A and B are shown apart, each in its own frame.
Chain A
């Protein structure tokens, strides 16, 4: 990497981290800005639209909520725009909406994120409001009780929706009691027990300068982004409170669970333990999954289950990575009398992939498709900001954008076969079906 260091009269440092050639005409530079207050921002400048997007993440999400207070991070996150500083909920929301600011708080299992999108002309107000939300949330009683009701309602609804029941049960079966298996929003009992002090403790514990990741894109000079971030976040405490998660113990046996519900179409979630984002074989697994069930209309699962047999509208698989672990998750929805057949076909495809891997032709097509589609991820400023945040959170280098396609290009047929054999092991497969699938019963 050829980095240049530019100093702006002692205020901030900008490292140009290589040119990412999204643009043929003008190579876009991912800049690494160190602000005067010491915040690091990864920034991709984009002048063509009058919009600025910022993504902020703090390490720690629902998995690190205290026992008995599950859903705390979800609750706190959803209250951040319900009053801050001297403004109550109504005044804060009025400022946000009157300035057409899009401020979203996104709870996660291992990260808590904030996404800000503003018209350039309203940037000062937007950053100010975001800063207030992160540093001086009020947790007023009215807002707190109203949002508590909303979360309780969501929990109650989720317990009855087949999709939500299927995915929650799948996580539980795959990860056991590990906190990664918890629903983001907690449970009725834990949400009822959360007090104002818990919410304040969460903010104090996570929202700190040593625990923050920032990605940004938009129509503004890098020096100005630096000063906007500084003025919004400089009062964040320096240090977060540390937390630790137990080691993940994946399910290691075949697990097949049918949850009976009287609906016309059964919903299945299936999958395996995977590998973390920074694992050396991640890209081999990525290519494998692309061919298996990740490539939409051209994947093997789509061809076999939908296109050849008409058994489902939706069938897919994806890699899901959390802080230290990875998962392979798939799904299919099929009429009750055909679910058994769909599952057999999927299992056969999983076996074939585990046994034979992929062909040279499949590999070369997949490489061309995956590398060629990379620019599509950069077509809105908010997705760019989010990518720049994720890169930091996932421990990727700042030259990732230029190098990513070469990681894909380097994958061989042998790499894919070997990771497929390792990962698609049906002795570790967890399947959960919600519905009334004909001829299928639980075994575990």
Chain B
């Protein structure tokens, strides 16, 4: 059953300057995606899917919170908000008004590695949203007042997402503890004290440094004709001048030599929880060869309620009400392999933690039965097919992949890579990654009731 969802919000990843050759024109049998590049360096991925007469139009900038200047955390996210403030051509809220008026939906998101803007709309309005999105790539018009007001909104967003949510506070501290130097230790939304100091100059400097076509990927999915999309893209994005983009240099992690531990107590909790983060490879990091085996490892260890972790912790030992793992290698630099346990009310934290370590140690020593590995691979392949049922989901896969320097071909080959993973590779990867010295354990502890007001009500 899926009563309690495993909802770690893992801060995601990065980008590497894209090195695809001009017009690979790769046909993809699963997604039917094609790759092109405009003369100004902008990547274009098209993914036709004619199930309904709508298009998903996304622009991904290869820049994110991991690139915020030191002391100015939250800058890329604040800029994402401010991108809705209008240009001289389409002032104030014209962008959002036109999208809504024509039956569209829109939004934007920021991760550590990329910042994306998207619209879903009836296909006849693709030229409109392209015109609008291309316009705000270089023509954003901002005032100091815009920035001050939006900063307040972001502070409210931070309260909703973090300050009011004990598990988010704990995870923010855990990321800070896991990444000794790398910017993934800094929250995407920013630290409150630093958000409060961001100003118009910071925002414009960042915008004028990174928002250029040669630092962006356009993804168009849905009921489209590829040639039409290319013609429109040339018309709207093709005339924007590129700029030299500074290489993104991120601080490297020193050697990790000691397990770390973070505790957070809150009266807003009913039961204790245990989180464990390990530093883990991404699809494009130096130790990337471990990423595919580790994905299979994650699925077997903690993917579903048939997983080893759930069966041991919840069903057999009855220590937890939920147990699972989470690992997403779609990240520019080393990322996180996560384990989550929601404990039963009266179970001691140390008892549960000892059990967890036993289960991990057994898995690392004995490996997995072949049947479990095969089943996990089958589920992973099937889930890829399900993604075809959702044009927005497919567009996101390609957008994030290209934002971290992967190619359309890499996405196509994912299934094959997963399928070819061997039992030995899984064990090698798991033993390399699940090393206590490269880990942080986080504990959420319920604190004394403070809802007296409710009880008396």
A binds B: yes
Option from B54, B93, B155, B385 in Cβ contact (under 8 Å) with A119? B385
Q: Which residue of B lies closest to A332 (CB)?
A: B156
Kindly list chain B residues whose C-beta atoms are within 8 Å of the C-beta of A46. Answer: 51
Q: Which residue of A lies closest to B95 (CB)?
A: A297
Contact assessment for B153 and A312 in the assembled complex, using a CB-CB cutoff below 8 Å: yes
Q: In terms of DSSP, what is the predominant structure of the interface of chain B?
A: mixed
Contact assessment for A296 and B451 in the assembled complex, using a CB-CB cutoff below 8 Å: no
Contact assessment for A156 and B270 in the assembled complex, using a CB-CB cutoff below 8 Å: yes
Contact assessment for B389 and A369 in the assembled complex, using a CB-CB cutoff below 8 Å: no
B199 at the interface (CB under 8 A from A): no
Contact assessment for A156 and B4 in the assembled complex, using a CB-CB cutoff below 8 Å: no
The interface size of chain A toward B, counting residues with CB under 8 Å, comes to 83
B53 at the interface (CB under 8 A from A): yes
A333 at the interface (CB under 8 A from B): yes
Interface centre among B1, B148, B306, B383 (most CB of A within 10 A): B1
B120 at the interface (CB under 8 A from A): yes
Contact assessment for B153 and A306 in the assembled complex, using a CB-CB cutoff below 8 Å: yes
A340 at the interface (CB under 8 A from B): no
Residues of B at under 8 Å CB distance from A?
A: 1-4, 49-54, 84, 93, 96-97, 100-106, 120-122, 148-157, 159-160, 163-164, 222, 267-271, 304-306, 311, 314-315, 318, 321-322, 342, 344-345, 375, 378-379, 381-383, 385-386, 388-392, 450-451, 453-454, 457
Q: Which residue of B lies closest to A93 (CB)?
A: B306
Q: Which residue of A lies closest to B85 (CB)?
A: A307
Contact assessment for B54 and A376 in the assembled complex, using a CB-CB cutoff below 8 Å: yes
Alpha-carbon gap, A311 to B314, bound state (A): 43
Alpha-carbon gap, A162 to B68, bound state (A): 32
Q: Which residue of B lies closest to A22 (CB)?
A: B52
Kindly list chain B residues whose C-beta atoms are within 8 Å of the C-beta of A51. Answer: 385-386, 388-389
Alpha-carbon gap, A99 to B306, bound state (A): 13
Kindly list chain B residues whose C-beta atoms are within 8 Å of the C-beta of A307. Answer: 93
Contact assessment for B3 and A264 in the assembled complex, using a CB-CB cutoff below 8 Å: no
Alpha-carbon gap, A159 to B451, bound state (A): 9
Alpha-carbon gap, A380 to B52, bound state (A): 9
A149 at the interface (CB under 8 A from B): yes
Interface centre among B84, B102, B106, B382 (most CB of A within 10 A): B382
Option from B1, B93, B106 in Cβ contact (under 8 Å) with A105? B1
Q: Which residue of A lies closest to B151 (CB)?
A: A310
Contact assessment for B270 and A373 in the assembled complex, using a CB-CB cutoff below 8 Å: no
6 contacts between A and B (CB under 8 A): A119-B386, A259-B451, A311-B156, A374-B103, A376-B121, A381-B389
Contact assessment for A142 and B454 in the assembled complex, using a CB-CB cutoff below 8 Å: no
1/0 per position for A150-175, CB-CB distance to B under 8 A?
11111011011110010001000000
1/0 per position for A82-120, CB-CB distance to B under 8 A?
100000011001100111101011000000000001010
Kindly list chain A residues whose C-beta atoms are within 8 Å of the C-beta of B315. Answer: 89-90, 142, 146
Option from A89, A157, A370 in Cβ contact (under 8 Å) with B271? A157
Contact assessment for A153 and B344 in the assembled complex, using a CB-CB cutoff below 8 Å: yes
* Apart from A94-B375, A372-B102: 20 A-B pairs, beta carbons within 8 A: A23-B53, A53-B389, A90-B311, A100-B378, A117-B386, A142-B315, A151-B3, A153-B271, A153-B321, A169-B454, A263-B268, A264-B159, A265-B160, A310-B151, A333-B156, A368-B101, A370-B103, A371-B103, A372-B104, A378-B52
Contact assessment for A312 and B156 in the assembled complex, using a CB-CB cutoff below 8 Å: yes
A410 at the interface (CB under 8 A from B): no
Alpha-carbon gap, A53 to B389, bound state (A): 10
A135 at the interface (CB under 8 A from B): no
Contact assessment for A375 and B304 in the assembled complex, using a CB-CB cutoff below 8 Å: no
| CB of A51 to closest CB in B, whole Å | 5
Contact assessment for A372 and B122 in the assembled complex, using a CB-CB cutoff below 8 Å: yes
Contact assessment for A259 and B457 in the assembled complex, using a CB-CB cutoff below 8 Å: yes
Alpha-carbon gap, A62 to B102, bound state (A): 39
User: Top 7 A-B pairs ranked by shortest CB distance?
Assistant: A372-B103, A100-B382, A156-B270, A310-B152, A265-B159, A373-B103, A313-B157
A298 at the interface (CB under 8 A from B): yes
Alpha-carbon gap, A50 to B391, bound state (A): 14
Contact assessment for A365 and B379 in the assembled complex, using a CB-CB cutoff below 8 Å: no
Kindly list chain B residues whose C-beta atoms are within 8 Å of the C-beta of A53. Answer: 389
| CB of A293 to closest CB in B, whole Å | 14
| CB of A308 to closest CB in B, whole Å | 8
Q: Which residue of A lies closest to B104 (CB)?
A: A373
| CB of A99 to closest CB in B, whole Å | 8
